[in-house]
Structure 1
Amino acid sequence: MVNSTVFAPWEDPGQTPLIRIENVTKRFGDFTAIDDVSIDIYTREFFALLGPSGCGKTTLMRMLAGFETPSEGRITIDGKDMAGVPPNKRAVNMMFQSYALFPHLTVWDNIAFGLRRDRMDKDRVAARVEEMLKLTQLQKFAKRKPHQISGGQRQRVALARSLAKAPKLLLLDEPLGALDKKLREETQFELMEIQEKTGTTFVIVTHDQEEAMTVASRVAVMNHGKLVQVDTPERIYEAPKSVYVADFIGDVNLIEGLVASVGELAELTWAEGKAPLIGQSGASLKAGDEAVFAIRPEKIAISREEPEARNRVRGKIVDIGYLGNLSVYHVQLPDGSYMKCEVGNRSRVSRRDYTWEDEVWLSWTDTAGLVLPS
């Protein structure tokens, strides 16, 4: 991920966005796929469009590429209105999920294809292809055909071909979806390294939260054609502005209740006879509102003895998941609801500290959770 403490053009009013999506709506008949979306994306950003299937992220990308036109609003790239500009006249390239490599051409010729179509001088084509092979570490595979290399290598060929024409903007449509988990994780870091080396602006479409959080400088979370939150991965995770974002990104415990008081911290009454839960206050809350307390499992401590923390609940362990680097405890509370707690496995253990049916306390600090509008 680009270091957002250093690279944060979106926080500088003097910076001009490379891409401006202004009040864009896209309808297909009676169906609204994109609903009044506005985003600014800056040069050298690795920007992620994240959301479930059908949320509109691919439609938005296709409008950037020129394969679809907005029903309303406008898109500008590098200050130029894209209305009526066909895909081949835009300083944009798109890398498809299928990679769309030519099976009868070698890796070298696949990368050279677009340059040759643009009638680039032969020597310049050769120099540019060699540069791309080096960038993507494919020099040894230049003479092979796509079926003679691995899935991860094919992905890099598609990336090299997309970057060969030096587009201002590269669009990546679920580019790692065909790779297995371990290779996908390795390739995420390769993508980030290549993006930083080239300085090209990348926009990636993905439904994989972990992928978006790993590679992106900023993430736009979408739902039903609308933007729900646009922010850095850290803020999306630590300071979600809605229950939807909190629930969509990573694991979270959600407890419904009523706001008892609001200041910098908010108190939520949630179960009769139980002390209120305390957390950081979300936007637009007032006393008496229905709200949801959100707390990440890794921010919860588990103990046998009653802790001193104001936020504490008692329950019984009903399930345990061992994930190697951490153990996950599912704890049933007296009201029948469940909470999940994650504990890091820092050393080898021959036995568990806690096991099924144990009565335990869960606790967390006043600022570990959020009280969000329901």
Structure 2
Amino acid sequence: MSPTVFAPWNNPDEKPLIRFKNVTKKFGEFVAIDDLSLDIYAQEFFALLGPSGCGKTTMMRMLAGFENPTSGRIELAGQDIAPVPPNKRAVNMMFQSYALFPHLSIWDNIAFGLRRDKMSKDAIEARVAEMLKLTRLEKFARRKPHQISGGQRQRVALARSLAKAPKLLLLDEPLGALDKKLRQDTQFELMDIQESTGTTFVIVTHDQEEAMTVASRVAVMDEGRVIQVATPAEIYEAPNSVYVADFIGDVNIITASTKAIGQDQYHLNWIEGQPPLTATSALPFSEGQQAHLAIRPEKIKISTDRPEDAPNALQGKVLDIAYLGNLSTYHVELPGGQVIKAQTANTRRIARRDITWEDPVWISWSATAGVLLAQ
């Protein structure tokens, strides 16, 4: 039997843990959040993703209680949280700077909030021991923050945030200060910890790779609005707009006018003097409507000979090659001047690089390789 897939958002009977209902937040004349509605479910690892200034941190600060909505309401477990002060919410926030107390040991940093809550000594000891084990910090309990590494400090901040067993943990760019390799390792640790505690995590990040790695669902934001909410796979394979396609990973966008040629099939007239491209789309497009074909570079084949039977085959010349060890990305200039990226996996030990700069090449892709977008 396959394990049941965690997808409470597909179950109409499931009640969300967090509800944004038509929330607007203004700072003076500036609209930071614009009539936003969003549901987040218990035990989700939810990512708010977008460029600087898109409103993701403002949403998080409203959840934490540092800001109140100008209009609309935010509910936590069915309750309007606006009147509840930050220290009375079942919500904890982990800051990018970690905000550890430098003069306290790791043990005392984790125990700090529990002591303030007047928890009994035995209960504190048991809870801190549990948190140290969860974050693999038992050996460092007596050290001060400056005596451990950045990655370990990050885990102390996480342990301290989880010690009070919040319903919801907010993480503001939590891995921003770590180097790339450590960040990747820590992403998997975060996922394991989130899964073993069952706490709902909401992470704010501008790093698409991070959001795609850790999250059960991602909300892609722009200018105070949510553009698309979906699983990482759906966001990557079925973006709802050029903005989302372009924000996540690498993509080629070809703008064309559409002409239906059968059930869900379209011809795309993209440039004078070139044969039309063929694409499929479940979304309907009218005759002559402008559309944008978004195709990921790894879905485009590159060859020196004209491919047989490919519905889309274009000739161009190689402008540039980016060699990334496991992948090579070829930048191919087409007759009209448009540059298309095609990616190949380097599976052999020594790549017999039969395609090089300035070479004439063919690029090709299937009718289903791209997504046809209206906006």
When the two structures are superposed, what TM-score results if normalisation uses the length of structure 2?
Answer: 0.97
State the distance in 2 between where 1:4 and 1:29 align.
50
- Give the letter for the 2:21 counterpart: E
- In structure 2, the residue matched to 1:39 is 38
Q: CA contact under 8 A between 2:45 and 2:215: conserved in structure 1?
A: yes
Q: Give the equivalent residue in structure 2 for 1:221.
A: 220
2: CA distance, partners of 1:248 / 1:261: 29
Output the CA distance in 2 between the equivalents of 1:365 and 1:254.
15
Partner residue, 1:30: 29
Paired amino acid for 2:214:
V
Letter in 2 for 1:141: F
User: Match of 1:316?
Assistant: 317
The separation in 1 between residues aligned to 2:82 and 2:251, in whole angstroms, is 42
Matches within 5 A, 1:148-159: 148-159=147-158
Aligned to 1:269: 269
State whether residues 264 and 284 of structure 2, in contact with CA within 8 Å, keep that contact through their aligned partners in structure 1: no
Which digits, 9 at most, give the CA deviation of each residue in 1:299-338, with x for residues without a partner? 0111111112111111000111110001110100011110
Say if 2:234 is the partner of 1:235: yes
Q: 1:275 Cα shift?
A: 2.0
Q: Structure 2 counterpart of 1:41, which letter?
A: I
Distance in 1 between the 2:250 and 2:318 partners?
18
Is 1:142 equivalent to 2:141 in the alignment?
A: yes
Report the equivalent of 2:189.
Answer: 190
CA distance in 2, matches of 1:119, 1:256: 63
**Whole-angstrom CA distance in 2 between matches of 1:361 and 1:37:** 45
Moved over 6 A (4+): none
Q: Does 1:359 align with 2:360?
A: yes
Q: What is the CA distance between 1:284 and its match in structure 2?
A: 5.6
Moved more, 343-352 or 82-91: 343-352
CA displacement, residues 87-126 of structure 1 (integer Å, 9 cap, x when unaligned) = 1010000000000000000000000000000010011001
Partner of 2:288: 288
The DSSP-based 3-state class of the residue aligned with 2:278 is strand
Question: Superposition pairs for residues 21-170 of structure 1, below 5 Å?
Answer: 21-170=20-169
**In 2, are the aligned partners of 1:282 and 1:373 still within 8 Å (CA)?**
no
Deviation string 1:187-227 (CA, Å, 9 cap, x unpaired) is: 00000000000000000000000000000000000000011
- Residues 132-169 of structure 1, C-alpha deviations (whole Å, 9 max, x = no match): 00000000000000000000000000000000000000
SS of structure 2 residue aligned to 1:166: coil
Confirm or deny: 8 A CA contact 2:264 2:282 kept in the other structure: no
Q: Secondary structure at the match of 2:143?
A: coil
For structure 2, the residue ranges without an aligned partner over 5 or more in a row are none
SS, match of residue 144 in structure 1: coil
Structure 1 contact 24–38 (Cα < 8 Å) conserved: yes
1:28, 1:183 → 2: CA distance?
37
Q: Which moved more, 1:89-98 or 1:342-351?
A: 342-351
Which deviations, in whole Å up to 9, do the C-alpha atoms of 1:207-254 show, x marking residues without a partner? 000000000000000000011000000000000000000000000001
Q: CA deviation at 1:4?
A: 10
Supply the distance in 2 between the matched residues of 1:269 and 1:328 (Cα, whole angstroms). Answer: 26
Amino acid at match of 2:182: L
Instruction: Return 276-285 or 356-365, whichever deviates more.
Output: 276-285
Q: CA deviation at 1:273?
A: 2.2
Matched-pair contact (CA < 8 Å) for 1:36–1:226: yes
SS in 2 for 1:111: helix
Q: What is the count of residue pairs matched by the alignment? A: 372
Give me the whole-angstrom Cα distance separating, in 2, the residues matched to 1:254 and 1:117: 55
Q: Work out the CA distance in 1 between the residues paired with 2:342 and 2:228.
A: 26
Query: How far apart, in 2, do the equivalents of 1:180 and 1:145 lie?
Result: 22
State the one-letter code of the partner of 1:286: S
Amino acid at match of 2:292: V
Q: Tell me the SS of whatever aligns to 2:236.
A: helix
Take 2:165 and 2:260, find their aligned partners in 1: how far apart are those partners?
55
Q: CA RMSD in A?
A: 1.4
The 1-side partners of 2:127 and 2:72 are apart by: 37
